Structure 1
């Protein structure tokens, strides 16, 4: 993915310690970072904490961003790692039946579908959930998903197919229990 000259200039300025350059780079990445964290952690406050911690880590490690690389997959990778760390270290689990913000609450079926989807996503292993959230929730292309997960594009596509199949099976099983 080609990076424009203005972005490259901002990255260099941020590496030199320019706070405003880093802020200009990170600001447009915060909404997708929050959606990713919320999709992985299912807790608004934990997601906010993860994004805040990730932004701090990105600021400290901006020198590690490869020259000419896009900041979005690099930063979202930091967010994903921070979320994995939060899931590993969290000794408690909050189980809520919170509907996705986009759920159509006008019908009972939509409400049930939202609950079933949320439960199915929670039951999927974190690595599969990450792939699903990156693709279906953040609408990222496979090349960026591959960068974030540290895999090849082909491997990311295979993992996405398997994760989608797993989610579908869990949704169907959930419907069968009703």
Structure 2
């Protein structure tokens, strides 16, 4: 039988930083936490954005990402590379976030959204017009980013997820379709409608601020890394891998 190895911190963390995905997964399956730490470092921001697109709350989105990492680590040996690791992790995160959402409120019904669109009643209620009068560039960018985030939050979940993956995360149509389990044609349709709903006044700020929306870097990124690695070590959680001692 395969022998489960406990999570183990190593002294050669920098060596993992340049590894390709298959090699990182192999080392993580052996219980090498620094390899899994690099995986988290690479995926934290996109997974946080996906989680937040569903739960619409920073704190809960962080919890979703953390729990998704636990589930992913335990099931890491089942990852066979049929899709990219990020796609696999995105699916886990979406399932976790939607599970939480179902426990606290009814998910938006896409059919109802379609009816509302045909009736012309679905309008983004922008939270106050913004005029760039502040001479401080960073303050202006922060306010514009908040405007974008508020507008994106108002999108129905099916459109919001596609918008976040395509326009914020820059996923391809095929990657988005694979992550959400829908057809590429559906991705294109939902993206078109999401963009239309965000209204004309956001067009001028998309190109300069989109990549900064929903940041999850620096201290917050490091905090969730350390929290997950510490708990994996304390709980002695191991991947159910095929590796032998």
Normalization by structure 1: what TM-score?
0.69
Residue in 1 aligned with 2:134?
Answer: 106
Cα 1:6–1:122 shift into 2, 3 Å: closer
Cα deviation, residue 126, structure 1: 1.3
**1:163 counterpart (190, 194, 202):** 194
Q: Which has the larger radius of gyration?
A: 2
Partner of 1:11: 25
- 2:47 pairs with one of 9, 25, 33: 33
Q: Which residue in the other structure is 1:128 paired with?
A: 159
Aligned pair in 2 of structure 1 residues 22, 165: CA closer, same or farther (>3 Å)?
Answer: same
CA distance in 2, matches of 1:167, 1:70: 30
1:149-170 CA deviation, whole Å, 9 max, x = no partner?
A: 112333322222233234449x
Q: Quote the Cα distance in structure 2 between the aligned partners of 1:114 and 1:17.
A: 40
Deviation at 1:29, TM superposition (A): 0.6
Structure with the largest fraction of helix: 1
1:12-60 deviations in Å (ceiling 9; x for gaps): 2323433332222222111222233234333221111011011111112
- Is the deviation greater in 24-33 or in 44-53? 24-33
Could you tell me how far apart the structure 2 residues matched to 1:88 and 1:163 are? 23
* Contact persistence 2:48–2:65 (CA under 8 A): yes
The root-mean-square deviation of aligned C-alpha atoms, in Å, is 3.5
Partner of residue 66, structure 2: 52
Alpha-carbon contact 1:38-1:47 (below 8 Å) kept: yes
For structure 1, which runs of at least 5 residues remain unmatched after alignment? Answer: 92-96, 99-103, 172-178
Which aligned pairs between 1:80-95 and structure 2 lie closer than 5 A? 80-90=94-104
* CA apart distance, 1:5: 7.7
Give the gaps of 5 or more residues in structure 2: 1-17, 106-125, 203-245
- 2:77 aligned to which of 52, 63, 78: 63
Moved over 6 A (4+): none
TM (norm. structure 2) is 0.52
Taking a change above 3 Å as real, the CA distance of residues 113 and 74 of structure 1, as seen in their structure-2 partners, is closer
Q: Would you say the 8 A contact 1:34–1:51 is kept in 2? A: yes
Question: Secondary structure at 1:66's aligned position in 2?
Answer: coil
Specify the SS of the correspondent of 1:31: helix
Find the aligned partners of 1:29 and 1:126 in 2 and give their Cα distance: 21
Bigger RCO (CA 8 Å, 6+ sep) = 2
Shift of 1:118: 4.7
Whether contact under 8 Å (1:11, 1:22) holds in the other structure is yes
